[in-house]
Chain A
Amino acid sequence: MGRLLISALLLLGLVAATAGAARDWRTDDRGVLIVIAKAPVKTRSWKNPYEGQSDAILAGAKLFRQHCAECHGDDARGLGRAANLRSSFVQNATPGELAWFLRNGNLPAGMPPWAGIPEQRRWQIITYVKSLGTPTP
């Protein structure tokens, strides 16, 4: 029994260490972080139903503090492995790409999928994130 448990622990540790090594910070030709740019092309045309709405920005800021600030920082500039959300590679992404990425996450790199919170709230978070910076050309 003890041998079985030790083997299981070793296996779990090995798998975790392997997965933790996967990172990808490259950007595509539009300056979008490659993991966001992996979103299917059709997502680029998705419209944010709350785009530019001040109430959605406030709600998104509230949700950001609850769900995102722990890793991305209160100012959204990123902590540790978490991306700077004010950077051009996030701000240059379309709302649809961000919606896809928020829903799916990037599990190997430590970004959890946020499909567990309703779609409306994810759009509110995107509205807030987009309000933080101006896309670079």
Chain B
Amino acid sequence: MLRNVILLLVLAAAALCCSPHAAAQETPYFVAYSHHLEEPGNLEVEVYSIYGTQKAGGDFIAPWMELEYGVTAWWTTEFYIDSQTTFGDSTVFTGTRWENRFRPLMHEHWINPVLYVEFENTTDADKTLKEVVGVDNQFDAAEPNSEANRSHTHEIETKLILSSDYKGWNFSENFIGEKNLGHEPWEFGYALGVDRPLRLAATPQPCNFCRENFILGAEMYGGLGTASAFSLSGTSHYVAPLVAWQLPNGVTLSVSPGFGLNDNSHRFLLRWGMSYEIGGFGRKLRSLF
């Protein structure tokens, strides 16, 4: 078993080293989505983490991994593996998610819609906070891992993503509807994002540490109640500036401190991560068979 895992890791590393890189045009949001999808045939391997402070419990770090693949120019699919460590408690695997994003319109417009569907197979111990919906609040995460990880949830999450580009800026608005398949009501949430590269035109020389490779932005997200109580009462909200460094070799590093806006929110969140884009992954995979 161990030998198989090592072999798999060596093969994956070799594939990464030998594969051509590609620079993505996706916006570096952690929570919000823009209408820019993965380029067809490219695979993006992403590793992210979130640190969160916790009232009435231990602080936590929740790492997750994303494998994002551009199936076509208008369809991106993504697979997630989630986990978390709660200080003074334990480290647990918290589940998987599978998302799909579709562009229904074939041309660019002032506002570009994207339809998002995700199936989640996670436990209540999941603390990745990839979305905040309903009356999610920080006290949900205070439950000990031994108990929270016993409760499995199967959820369908849908989003209407609206996104615009204007003079180098991206503005994204996401409306979230999430349904626990265990007969619980729909929960709603939102995520907003804005970002812009520090320099719009590229310089003639190849460079790593130059303004054109840095993107600054901010996100805001929170819950909007449930189908039976659509209101802000009891919901949590966050605002989070972000910075991303897109290296020409296909690596993107990003970090985002987040701040809770009310007593229901975690007081402080810190997200960070790295992604690597493998160009032409699908074509190379097909050539093996």
B279 at the interface (CB under 8 A from A): yes
Quick one: which of B30-71 are within 8 Å of A by CB?
34, 36-37, 39-42, 70-71
Residue of chain A at shortest CB distance from B278 = A70
The answer for the CA separation of A103 and B110 in the assembled complex, in Å, is 12
Beta-carbon contact of A116 and B74 below 8 Å: no
The answer for the CA separation of A62 and B170 in the assembled complex, in Å, is 23
A6 at the interface (CB under 8 A from B): no
Kindly supply a per-residue 1/0 record for chain B positions 201-218, scoring 1 wherever the CB is within 8 Å of any chain A CB and 0 otherwise: 111111000000000000
* Chain A min CB distance to B163 (Å): 10
The answer for the CA separation of A115 and B279 in the assembled complex, in Å, is 19
Chain A residues with CB under 8 A of B241 = none
Q: Interface size for chain A: under 10, 10 to 19, 20 to 34, or 35 or more residues?
A: 35 or more
Beta-carbon contact of A20 and B72 below 8 Å: yes
Interface residue from B27, B73, B197 paired with A107 (Cβ < 8 Å): B73
Residue of chain A at shortest CB distance from B26 = A116
Beta-carbon contact of B201 and A120 below 8 Å: yes
A137 at the interface (CB under 8 A from B): no
Q: Interface size for chain B: under 10, 10 to 19, 20 to 34, or 35 or more residues?
A: 35 or more
Beta-carbon contact of A117 and B20 below 8 Å: no
Chain A residues with CB under 8 A of B23 = 66-67
Beta-carbon contact of A121 and B72 below 8 Å: no
Chain B residues with CB under 8 A of A115 = 36, 108, 165
Kindly supply a per-residue 1/0 record for chain B positions 254-280, scoring 1 wherever the CB is within 8 Å of any chain A CB and 0 otherwise: 000000000000000000000000011
Chain B residues with CB under 8 A of A66 = 22-23, 248
Main SS of chain B's interface residues?
A: loop
Chain B residues with CB under 8 A of A106 = 73
B171 at the interface (CB under 8 A from A): no
Chain B residues with CB under 8 A of A15 = 75
A107-B103, A116-B25 in contact; A124/B201 too (CB < 8 A)? yes
B230 at the interface (CB under 8 A from A): no
Chain B residues with CB under 8 A of A117 = 25
Kindly supply a per-residue 1/0 record for chain B positions 124-144, scoring 1 wherever the CB is within 8 Å of any chain A CB and 0 otherwise: 000000000000000000000
B100 at the interface (CB under 8 A from A): yes
Kindly supply a per-residue 1/0 record for chain B positions 115-157, scoring 1 wherever the CB is within 8 Å of any chain A CB and 0 otherwise: 0000100000000000000000000000000000000001000
Beta-carbon contact of A107 and B106 below 8 Å: yes
Chain B residues with CB under 8 A of A108 = 73-74, 106
Write the residues of chain B forming the contact surface with A, with a CB cutoff of 8 angstroms. 20, 22-23, 25-27, 34, 36-37, 39-42, 70-75, 77, 100, 103, 106-108, 119, 154, 165, 167-168, 170, 181, 197, 200-206, 248, 279-280, 283
Return 16 A-B CB contacts under 8 Å, by A number. Answer: A16-B71, A16-B75, A19-B75, A59-B203, A63-B202, A67-B25, A104-B108, A107-B106, A114-B25, A116-B27, A116-B34, A118-B201, A120-B168, A120-B200, A120-B201, A121-B202
